[in-house]
Amino acid sequence: MRKANPLILTLLLIGVVLAACSRPIPSTELEGTEIREYQGEDLSSINDFRENSIKGPQYVSLDEYTLEITGLVEKPLSLPYEEVLDRDQYSKVVTLYCVEGWDAKILWEGVLIKDLIDRAGAKGEANTVIFHAEDGYTSSLPLDFVRENNILLAHKMNGVTLPPERGFPFQVVAESKWGYKWVKWVTQIELSDDPDYKGYWEERGYNNDGDVEGPIFERP
């Protein structure tokens, strides 16, 4: 076997090094892997959910997306995705119970809705938070409930960004409430003084309180 020329080898090595240095190394954030266990607790998969939205999955473009905070607030806000995330992040394991009979225990990560509301400044008469979704779906929660229970507006589940089918960019984590209170594809948070406001399913007969421990239907 012929011996390799050391001069050629050195030149080749210098060439490779120079080529590598001349090009900027692309920094691509890879999507994380789904977490299935958290602090000793088994978690459901993000694929354990059933598709039961009113108009099918919504594909929200971040180029056009803003989260509106409107209604009875001192200063209505229109926040782009990055600006919504630009505040303290919280995470907690919460189980979603669907009226259909299935459930999913997930590690949710997001921002506190009360932080967003406080930034807009809730007026004194506001007592209800109405969530509007991209597909026209709405549901509501009492303002005190949102404040006292540190209700999250999640952007991640089990460590990965919400997929479009699961509510990207944001989903309400309405813990201890039936799944129809967990609004996906949130585009607007409206503060209202109407405690009897009925969202999409509530208007059709599901209980407006939506407590998991309470009745499913508004009337027996």
Residue 206 interacts with other proteins (CB under 8 A): yes or no: yes
Binding residues for other proteins, total number by CB under 8 A? 12
Residue 52 contacts residue 96 (beta carbons within 8 Å): no
Comparison of 145 and 206: residue with beta carbon closer to other proteins? 206
Closest distance to other proteins from the beta carbon of 50 (Å): 7
Residue 12: enclosing H or E segment and its boundaries? helix 6-22
Considering only residues 9, 12, 16, 54, which one is a binding residue for other proteins as defined by CB under 8 A?
54
Closest distance to other proteins from the beta carbon of 42 (Å): 25
Select from 177, 176, 163, 202 the least CA-distant residue to 59.
Answer: 163
Task: Tell me the torsion sign for CA atoms 54, 57, 63, 69.
Answer: positive
Task: Tell me the torsion sign for CA atoms 71, 76, 81, 83.
Answer: negative
Residue 123 interacts with other proteins (CB under 8 A): yes or no: no
Select from 84, 80, 198, 69 the least CA-distant residue to 123.
Answer: 69
Considering only residues 11, 17, 62, 216, which one is a binding residue for other proteins as defined by CB under 8 A?
216
Determine the interface stretch with other proteins among 27-35, 78-86, 156-164, 201-209 (rule: CB under 8 A): 201-209
Residue 66 contacts residue 114 (beta carbons within 8 Å): no
Determine the interface stretch with other proteins among 27-35, 57-65, 157-165, 198-206 (rule: CB under 8 A): 198-206
Residue 125, Cβ density class (10 Å: 0-12 exposed, 13-18 middle, ≥19 buried): exposed
Considering only residues 32, 76, 136, 205, which one is a binding residue for other proteins as defined by CB under 8 A?
205
Dihedral angle computed from the Cα positions of residues 84, 89, 95 and 96, in that order, rounded to the nearest 10 degrees: 0
Residue 142 interacts with other proteins (CB under 8 A): yes or no: no
Closest distance to other proteins from the beta carbon of 116 (Å): 30
* Chain residues that interact with other proteins, rule: CB under 8 A: 50, 52, 54, 56, 99-100, 201, 204-206, 216-217
